[in-house]
Amino acid sequence: MDPQREALLALSLLCEPGNRLVSTELTRRDATDTLQWLLADRDAPASVVARERLAGRSPADLVAEVLTAAHDCHARPITPLDDEWPSRVVDLAELFDETDHYTGPPLCLWARGPMNLAEAVTRSVSIVGARTCTAYGRYAATELAYGLADRDWTVLSGGAYGIDAAAHRGALAAGGPTVCVLAGGIDHVYPSAHDRLFAQIADTGLLISEWPPGASPRRYRFLVRNRVVAALTLGTVVVEAGVRSGARYTARMAAELDRPVMVVPGPITSPASAGVHQLARGPAPVRLVTRAGEIIEDLGPCGTDAGLTHRSPSRPRDRLSPDAVRILDSVPRRSAALPDRIAAQAGVPVEEARRILPGLAVQGFLEDHGGRYRLAIDAPPTSPQPSAEVVS
Amino acid sequence: MDPQREALLALSLLCEPGNRLVSTELTRRDATDTLQWLLADRDAPASVVARERLAGRSPADLVAEVLTAAHDCHARPITPLDDEWPSRVVDLAELFDETDHYTGPPLCLWARGPMNLAEAVTRSVSIVGARTCTAYGRYAATELAYGLADRDWTVLSGGAYGIDAAAHRGALAAGGPTVCVLAGGIDHVYPSAHDRLFAQIADTGLLISEWPPGASPRRYRFLVRNRVVAALTLGTVVVEAGVRSGARYTARMAAELDRPVMVVPGPITSPASAGVHQLARGPAPVRLVTRAGEIIEDLGPCGTDAGLTHRSPSRPRDRLSPDAVRILDSVPRRSAALPDRIAAQAGVPVEEARRILPGLAVQGFLEDHGGRYRLAIDAPPTSPQPSAEVVS
């Protein structure tokens, strides 16, 4: 194996993913030098941990061990040196986060499934949200993912219950591409009830993880994983989220990476939508989305294939001039009236009313009773009812 | 009566409200001169209509007739010359609208009820929406209006079925001030089923209209009225609205007047919320609101009494350092483990783990079994379950 690639794999195993110390060092040295630097007898926590993790083995032995385990569970490593590497994740290097040192770019992604990761995420959207979602949230995630997959957009999410699973299922239902980002080894099905779902995803899409086979999911790893969910795609949609939610962290990372953050509104009576509505109130700019077409639209130039701008239905009275509308609305329904009375009501000169009224009768809005006018009984659809507050 | 006030009343009766020709003229001449100018023998439609409406009477006679009718229905005229005049409506003079010539400021507002109009609208919000609303929309409008009225904010709306009525009822339920803006004479109860609601509003709040007693509501008048609903208050909240809706016109007028426009989100599956969600997608800036406190907050400096910023609940683990969280999440639940195993999992140096683990045990997160640690069975509320995707 290429020594640089082997060193990258070793680094990815000896540090927790996102470790900024190591990713910063990698911008200054190559991977083999960084590995040597890391394992030197220094006090930095990352170095201490790395030596402890090796437990006397050589880095090459450790890599070989993990590659064997990966082979057994059909997982392949993807490093920045591989064709499949999704280069977009390097944007994480630009993040500056004082409180969390685990936001650096991944050094390696373990993948299982037939898709090419770089190609899969070219046109991709993350759909994230609460585990404890409502039936409404599940419906929304499924519908949006279906619509996106149907237009050949890749849906990406975590592997949790709730919104994550609904998003994958929607994409799978459309026969579309879907990518599931795990927070533990690919051989570790968590939650275990997603056994079959993960198998389906691995059959047609991709299961990926920063953690090597054998690593178990840990709570803090879900947050660390979320930065990759945000970084891999063109934008992130939050479907349902309580006021405390990992999905909101994903949204924050997407915003910091200058990726569009979109939210699906819900009833103000639903606690499951409370976090989403808080996100929508800022401070970061957030777009509200209700359909797959709107998501694609909001992803900018890449979204120009959407072609789904929503137009208001048109009605016959829309084609009338403002004066004609005023006259029409002033014509009585029950007994016919003379033009001068109608004109006075409408605030339109009589002469103008005399010119307009016959035209309205020809178009079927009015009945002409020998120079007096009343509304037609079978006027065009949704014709005005003068005293109905239809537009209020 | 003051001749200028009488001339203003006459002008308000001889032109349809919002007529820009007349309101522009009033910025150049006083009211008596403008009336004389209007009634001169000119071809302008407004002049023709004015002469037709006089039908031979003098302006003074017409005003006297209408004042008698107003007296009979307990309505008083409020003109820019009166103390009660809500000066905020003059912002309408600044609007430039090529397609609609009926957006000028009102010349007179007819009012019925015990409140002083100028005072009533000082701290006020418009709540508008669809007539054909859902139970959800009705609930939201009622709740928001109740919350606003409870904090002594005036709620203002139209008099239609649906959201309008729900807003008034919410404000009334809180014993708070409410103002109903009609699109016909105050003596004209429309819809007639709102007989009792209007009587309640007139008892404690205000019924107001630009149209004099005797004028019947006409469809186009509702749109003309909506500009006053937008102009009278500090901001407008849209609760539910289809894609074609007068409420959206009110929102547009509010935006053009630089008043905050707020929307209440709803399910993406509800056509009654479709217009609201469209509004939220721009192009004008729109704020999403879910509680009365947020509305007050969004109305800017006037809203500083809100004091209702929503804070996330805090949990014991929130006070832990990032390293302590990683260690805690790496402690096994079932069998106790040594610090070095926990440290390797957490990616934290062993020495650091040895320092942190006893503290976590003291705080009740862990059990110390002679130097080995496992999670406490009765850990503090919402303590971590290492393999549970609680934050995903």
Tell me which residue of A198, A188, A4, A16 sits closest to A82, measured CA to CA.
A4
The C-alpha of A232 sits at a distance from chain B's nearest C-alpha, in angstroms, of 17
Same domain, A59 and A24: yes
What one-character DSSP code corresponds to residue A317? Answer: G
**Rg of chain B over CA atoms, in angstroms?**
30
Name residue A368's beta-bridge partners: A373
Q: Say if A218 is an interface residue toward chain B (CB within 8 Å).
A: yes
Q: Are both B219 and B349 inside the same structural domain?
A: no
Work out the minimum CA distance from B352 to partner chain A, whole angstroms. 9
Find out whether B209 and B224 touch, Cβ atoms under 8 Å.
no
Band of pLDDT at residue B392, cut at 50, 70 and 90: very low
Last residue of a domain, one of A46, A72, A98: A72
- Summarised one tens digit per residue, pLDDT across range B47-57 is 999 999 999 99
Chain B residue numbers with beta carbons less than 8 Å from the beta carbon of A318 are none
Q: Cβ atoms within 10 A of the Cβ of B29, count? A: 12
Decide which of A52, A72, A92 is a domain's last residue. A72
B226 and B342 in one domain?
no
Per-chain mean pLDDT for chain B: 89
Shared domain for A86 and A55, answered yes or no, is no
Residues 249-288 of A with CB under 8 A from B: 249, 264-269, 273-274, 277-278, 280-281, 287-288
Domain that holds residue B80: 73-303
DSSP label of A268: T
Q: How confident is the model at residue B302 (pLDDT cuts 50, 70, 90)?
A: low
Looking at the structure, do residues A44 and A165 belong to the same domain, yes or no? no
Q: Is A45 within 8 Å of chain B by CB?
A: yes
Q: How far is CA B301 from CA B156, B234, B290, B304, in A?
A: 20, 11, 19, 6
Radius of gyration of chain A measured on its C-alpha atoms: 30
Q: Is a pLDDT exceeding 60 seen at residue B78?
A: yes
Q: Is residue B290 part of a domain?
A: yes
Alpha helices (H) in A205-300, listed in sequence order: 219-232, 246-256, 271-280, 292-298
DSSP-derived 3-state class of residue B73: coil
CATH number of the domain that B368 lies in? Answer: 1.10.10.10
pLDDT of residue B307: 37
DSSP bridge pairs for A237: A127, A262
CB B34 within 8 A of CB B3: no
- pLDDT tens digit sequence for B172-231: 999 999 999 999 999 999 999 999 999 999 999 999 999 999 998 888 899 899 999 999
Residues in chain A: 392
In-domain check, residue A383: no
Select the more confidently predicted residue: A306 or A379: A379
How many CB atoms lie under 10 A from the CB of residue A344? 17
Q: Are residues A7 and A129 in the same domain?
A: no
Q: Is B226 part of a structural domain of the chain?
A: yes
How far, in Å, CA of A94 to CA of A257, rounded? Answer: 8
Give the CATH number of the domain where residue B180 resides. 3.40.50.450
Asked if B364 and B250 sit in the same domain, the reply is: no
Closest chain A residue to B267, measured at CA:
A266
What would the pLDDT profile of B249-277 be if each residue is shown by its tens digit? Answer: 999 999 999 999 999 999 999 999 999 99
Query: Under an 8 A CB cutoff, do A164 and B392 touch?
Result: yes
Q: Is residue B308 in a domain?
A: no
Q: Are residues A78 and A144 in the same domain?
A: yes
What residues are paired with B78 via a beta bridge? B109
Contact between residue A272 and residue A138 where contact means Cβ atoms under 8 Å apart: no
pLDDT tens, position by position, B100-146: 668 899 999 999 999 999 999 999 999 999 999 999 999 999 999 99
User: Of A170-184, A310-324, B83-97, B305-319, where does mean pLDDT reach its minimum?
Assistant: B305-319
A19 part of contact set with chain B, CB < 8 Å: yes
* Main-chain phi, psi angles of B78, to 5 degrees: -120, 115
Domain contains B112: yes
Does residue A282 come out as left (phi exceeding 0), alpha (psi in the -120 to 50 range) or beta?
left
Contact in structure between B237 and B126 (CB atoms under 8 Å): yes
Q: What value does the mean pLDDT take over residues A100-128?
A: 94
Chain B residues touching A346 at Cβ < 8 A: 16, 218
Residues of chain A in contact with residue B45, where contact means CB-CB under 8 angstroms, are 348-349, 352
Measured in angstroms, the CA of A347 and the nearest CA of chain B are apart by 6
Separation between Cα atoms, residue B346 and residue B362, nearest integer Å: 20
- At A44 the pLDDT is 82
Note whether B199 and B249 are same-domain residues. yes
Looking only at the bridges linking them, the beta strands covering B236-238 and A206-209 are unpaired
Q: What is the bridge-based pairing of β-strands B372-375 and B366-369? A: antiparallel
- The Cα B297–Cα B299 span in angstroms is 6
Counted domains in chain A = 3
**Paired tokens of B291:** 């509680």
Mean pLDDT of the B144-156 span: 97
Statement: residue B308 has pLDDT above 60: no
**Whether the predicted pLDDT of B381 surpasses 60:** no
Residue with tokens 């850990």: B379
pLDDT for A348: 86
B residues 328..347 contacting A (CB < 8 A): 329-330, 340, 343-347
Indicate the angle between helix axes A339-346 and A350-362, nearest 10 degrees.
Answer: 110
Residues B323 and B175 in one domain: no
Residue of chain A whose Cα is closest to the Cα of B102: A322
pLDDT tens digits, A63-109: 999 999 999 999 999 999 999 999 999 999 888 665 566 889 999 99
CA distance A273 to A163: 12
Q: Which two tokens stand for residue B230?
A: 């937008």
Quick check: is A308 in a domain? no
Mean pLDDT computed over every residue of chain A: 89
Whether residue B150 lies inside any domain: the answer is: yes
Residues 126-185 of A with CB under 8 A from B: 131, 136, 139-140, 158-161, 164, 183
B66 and B133 in one domain?
no
In single-letter form, the type of residue at position A288 comes to L
Confidence at residue A108, expressed as pLDDT on a 0 to 100 scale: 98
Which of A21, A43, A72 delimits the end of a domain? A72
Task: Indicate whether B165 and B278 sit together in one domain.
Answer: yes
Question: In the predicted model, what is the mean pLDDT of residues B226-243?
Answer: 96
